[in-house]
């Protein structure tokens, strides 16, 4: 008697993709923290707006927009490339989805001192 099982189906919540992208971006040296996703259409889709990540999935292809605040005196181009590579690799390895694109948006530089503290 042989039993056969179908492989079944695995679904991944968009929140999981947001978490993977956010943690991968934060692990890159030079990234200080995530910025809030700007307004517009994103306000309708609450997922990820506070996490600095907007994820879109179309037919098993992931496109991610990451909104970052970088540490001072880093090479923006190098950090951006590293974030793109790290996030793409993490999504491909952990979820097995194809990457349509990883867009990086540098929203600010995290300065150690506020202007008020510097003038005091």
Query: For the chain, which residues make up each domain, given as ranges?
Result: 14-112
As a whole number, mean pLDDT of residues 78-99 equals: 96
From the CA atom positions of the chain, what is the Rg in Å?
A: 18
Picking from 32, 25, 17, the residue whose alpha carbon sits closest to that of residue 86 is: 25
CATH of domain 14-112: 3.30.70.1350
Average pLDDT over residues 16-43: 87
Q: What pairs with residue 98 in β-bridges?
A: 61
pLDDT of residue 73: 93
Q: pTM (2 decimals)?
A: 0.79
């Amino acid at each position: 008697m042989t039993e056969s099982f179908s492989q079944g189906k695995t679904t991944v919540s968009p929140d999981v993709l947001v978490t993977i992208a956010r943690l991968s971006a934060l692990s890159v040296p030079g990234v200080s923290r995530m910025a809030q996703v700007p307004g517009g259409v994103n306000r309708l889709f609450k997922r990820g707006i506070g996490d600095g990540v907007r994820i879109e999935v179309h037919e098993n292809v992931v496109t991610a927009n990451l909104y970052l605040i970088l540490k001072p005196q880093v090479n923006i181009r190098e950090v951006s490339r590293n974030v793109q590579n790290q996030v793409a690799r993490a999504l491909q390895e952990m979820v097995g989805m194809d990457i349509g694109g990883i867009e990086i948006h540098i929203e600010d530089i995290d300065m150690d001192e506020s202007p008020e503290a510097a003038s005091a």
